[in-house]
Amino acid sequence: MSEIKHSNVIETDAFRDRIATVDESGKRKWIYAYQPKGRFYNIRSVLSVFYFLIFFGLPFVQINERPLFLFNIPEAKFILFGKIFWPQDFFIFGLTMVTFVFFIILFTAAFGRLFCGWACPQTNFMEMMFRRVEYWILGDAPAQKQLKSAPWTGKKMIKITVKHLLFFLLSFTIANFFLAYIIGINELEKIITEPVTQHVVGFASILVFSAVFYGVYAFFREQACTVVCPYGRLQSVLLDKNSMIVAYDYKRGEPRGNFKKQASSSLGDCIDCHLCVKVCPTGIDIRNGVQMECVGCTACIDACDHVMDSIGKPKGLIRYASENSIAKGEPLRYTVRMKLYTGLCFLLLALLSVILMTRKDIDATVIRTAGMLYQERGKDSLSNLYNIKLINKTTKDIAVKVVLKDQQGTILMAGKPVIEIKKEGQASGTFFIILPKSAVKQRKTMLKLALYTNGEELVTSKTNFLGPAL
Ligand code: SF4
Ligand code: SF4
């Protein structure tokens, strides 16, 4: 057992021997977190309403008959901000993911686990939905503990059953919407309204997702953050001493001691009431310093502010701060590094937005037919044969005309003069490019083709024209 030293406090770091939710024998310790009360909890409560509105509302938002977001992994079809991504766009999708990872790294280095506490679905659903239902049915943490050790009476059975029924209903609802993000709300509607026999896989998926969500929120709970979440595991490498975290001001708080002793001696402001520990959903004591299990939920800030208020001391013994700002006794500042990282994050987002916005709705690949040379056309013209492959990423059927750009010559389509492409479909065509010999001045002449629909230029493509060796 080693020791950690703050400036004027020496504590053993035995708490690091195992996570807070496991006892000495390796058994799970159930966390009975007290319901926080305070300004951060109030703000989080309001924000969570918007959060849930967005989560449950987004699948209904459609742009051009297409969902705003779709992550159809089984069919490799992804829609971001209403733009569809095909396997051919994989590099854009990859770039989006890389940008996202960079964003996370920069954001975490500057603002710590702000995402976990405020934006993570696990934290929001667990703390702002399921735990609230639990408080509502079973009461606050002491009542829950009491109920746990009480004999199995009818009242206890009803309470536990109602809780688990509601937990399952909520999980079932979340599972439906979760599936809507994968297959789209229209497909989900079919699963709900049509006979089960027609949608066995879809129905089974809903049940599996429901069981997983129920298992996570009813039993697994904080373990998802402290044991499973890869982002949580990465904190130790992403955070540094200047990152903003929820931190205990040990300079001000130590040496800790109960309120009565404090009055008669020169103790710090911490009255060792353990309220910050009691409200912690991951069961840790923030006074031990930065810990991987802290999800930045701010419950301990609210709890301690309340204590400070009641003993007439300034709030903020636990607050958003960096390790360095606590060590130097300075308030948290928006440092140059934070500004730089924020700027970079915005830059990455802007870059990504530009890439997404400027992506073409039609993809065209023009290839000169393999193995064919040029053909003589009468006395004064040459022709090459080409194949064109088109992808229509819009939700409308399109008829496309191929036109030579900035070049003398004509295009002769094999078959219809326009190529019809079904919405979100693919099509191909064959055509000749015929150039006057006077325009062919080298073995390979670079050409630009434009694709038009209803007089509007959709996209341009490049190819080359093979002529005789000069
Ligand atoms: S230490 Fe505080 S901020 Fe961190 S998880 Fe516990 S209550 Fe939330
Ligand atoms: S709530 Fe504040 S005063 Fe109470 S133990 Fe925690 S840090 Fe100390």
Which pLDDT value is given to residue 470? 66
Q: In which band, very low, low, confident or very high, does the pLDDT at 88 lie, cut at 50, 70 and 90? A: low
Out of 243, 284, 319, mutate this one to test ligand 1's pocket (max ligand atoms within 8 Å of CB): namely 284
- Taking CA atoms only, the protein residue closest to ligand 2 atom 1 is 304
Q: 215 is written with which tokens?
A: 């298992």
Upstream peptide bond of 255 is cis (omega within 30 degrees of 0): yes
Of 257-261, 287-291, 309-313, 362-366, the range with the lowest mean pLDDT is: 257-261
Residue whose token pair is 């309403």: 49
Angle at 280 between CA 8 and CA 293, to 5 degrees: 75
- Condensed to tens digits (0 to 9), the pLDDT of residues 164-195 reads 999 999 999 999 999 999 999 999 999 999 99
Q: Which of 187, 134, 141 is nearest to 34 (CA)?
A: 141
Of 173-187, 255-269, 398-412, the range with the lowest mean pLDDT is: 255-269
- Taking CA atoms only, the protein residue closest to ligand 2 atom 8 is 270
Q: In which band, very low, low, confident or very high, does the pLDDT at 3 lie, cut at 50, 70 and 90? A: very low
Side chain identity at residue 116, one-letter code: C
Q: Could you give the residue ranges of the DSSP H alpha helices within 274-335?
A: 275-278, 299-310, 323-327
Side chain identity at residue 4, one-letter code: I
Ligand 2 site, residue 272, Cβ cutoff 6 A: yes
Ligand 2 site, residue 317, Cβ cutoff 6 A: yes
- Taking CA atoms only, the protein residue closest to ligand 1 atom 2 is 300
CA 242 to the chain's CA centroid? 25
Ligand 2 site, residue 318, Cβ cutoff 6 A: yes
Mean pLDDT over 331-348 rounds to: 78
Tell me phi and psi for residue 330, to 5 degrees.
-110, 155
Give the separation between CA 138 and CA 101, rounded to whole angstroms. Answer: 40
The CA 281 to ligand 1 mean position distance, Å, reads 7
Give the separation between CA 297 and CA 35, rounded to whole angstroms. Answer: 12
Out of 226, 294, 302, 318, mutate this one to test ligand 1's pocket (max ligand atoms within 8 Å of CB): namely 294
In this predicted model, which residue has the larger pLDDT, 119 or 337?
119
Ligand 1 site, CB within 6 A: 246, 279-282, 284, 286, 294-300
Mean pLDDT over 327-338 rounds to: 77
Three-state SS at 268: coil
Neighbours of 361 (CB within 10 A): 15
Q: How many CA atoms lie within 13 A of 126 on its CB side?
A: 26
Give the separation between CA 230 and CA 105, rounded to whole angstroms. Answer: 13
Ligand 2 site, residue 421, Cβ cutoff 6 A: no
Q: Could you give the residue ranges of the DSSP H alpha helices within 74-217?
A: 90-111, 114-118, 121-125, 131-138, 141-149, 154-183, 185-193, 200-215
Of 45-59, 292-306, 319-333, the range with the lowest mean pLDDT is: 319-333
The CA 272 to ligand 2 mean position distance, Å, reads 5
Tell me phi and psi for residue 421, to 5 degrees.
-125, 125
- Taking CA atoms only, the protein residue closest to ligand 1 atom 7 is 280
Q: Each residue of 193-206: b (16+ CB within 10 Å) or e? A: eeeeeebeebbebb
Give the separation between CA 258 and CA 267, rounded to whole angstroms. Answer: 9
Ligand 2 site, residue 179, Cβ cutoff 6 A: no
Ligand 2 site, residue 352, Cβ cutoff 6 A: no
